[in-house]
Structure 1
Amino acid sequence: MSDTPTPARAWAEMLRGNARFVAGEPRHPRQDVERRHQTAAAQKPRAALFGCSDSRLAAEIIFDKGLGDLFVVRNAGQVISDSVVGSLEYAVAVLEVPLIVVLAHDECGAVRAAIDSTGVDAPALPAQVWRQIAPIVPAARRVLAAGAAEGVTPATIDTEAVGREHLRATVSELLRTSELISEAVAEGRLAIVGANYRLAEGTAVPDVLLGAAMDATA
């Protein structure tokens, strides 16, 4: 019998690990020599995580996991790309993970750069940096448009609101670009959780819940 957890159970495990981290009571499980030997020949991760490359977002630490527990994909601003989609499809189709967590966070430098780039006198960014943050700009523009009547500007905008808008757009784009992943969600084999990580508190707060993980509890 497969030991792959249900999507709901996988998310509940993630929540419990995060709660231990927040409480300052991490168990640091499966990080010993025995576990290293167990996973040397093959991997069977409990979930995939796509998050920002920010150095403060170490996935296994935040969720109190160990070797072989998480299949992690990261880039600045958690921006969808062909390599990201391909990696996550591999996790679903080959490794059979039941859960994808898309992890954003507050005080994101990529989000801030995207917001700043909307200014009339915004300085030019290096070409590759611009290509990386460009997919975040539409989220910034939507939040700016929504607050136009109140005089919201790039300097006064709520960066967390932009981060949440981008997170939701990222989940939507993942489903749009990957038939494999969207079908797995529709069939109940996979759930996707979009969460925001609060740097000071250490908490991962769910914002988007798609699939069977919606039934999960900590």
Structure 2
Amino acid sequence: MDFLSTIDTPLFNYLILPLLIFMARITDQTIGTLRLIYASKGYRYIAPVVGFFESFIWLTAISQIMKHLDNIYCYFAFAGGFAMGNFLGIYLEQKISIGVVMVRLFFQNYSHQLGEKLRSAGFGFTLFDGEGKEGAVKLLFSTINRRDLRKFITIVQEIHPNAFYTVEDVRQVKGNVFEKTKRGSIYSRLNPLNKKGA
């Protein structure tokens, strides 16, 4: 009995093969989502390497689909892996928390206690006077590492629980306006022990 005859069974064709395709599709789509995120944030050396492995895994999965065009379970596995891979890619990106964000806050009754707390926590910011629909307002802008966002918002909500704010990704930062953390290796980004304030 040769190898091909051992795998050409209903168990392999309708369970093991679809499962392998599902796992391969999850892997390549997760990698693909991370690649797009890294590219959008300016990590131009990481994105091509990630893209190589993404393409290799995708070709492996699609080649099995083409060999089993009459197997509907492979189609469901391929599509299901695509959907799950997108979810996992976004989830991992949130956990890794790469990049820099700009936080904009708007206050009608600004408390200087907030500024003192932000400074003591190591956050820099710029404060403006503005005019809103209901009169004078204060605007506070701060550029921070994304992984520090939760800590920043927690401080804000302690003083101004109903503060209105927006958060935007920042593609590039130049100058020593705030204390930036070195990007480090991919491993250091994925290792939860290296995260501060988690």
On whether the aligned pair clears a TM of 0.5, the verdict is: no
Indicate the structure whose relative CO is greater, using CA pairs within 8 Å and at least 6 residues apart: 1
User: TM-score under structure 1 normalisation?
Assistant: 0.27
Structure with max Cα Rg: 2
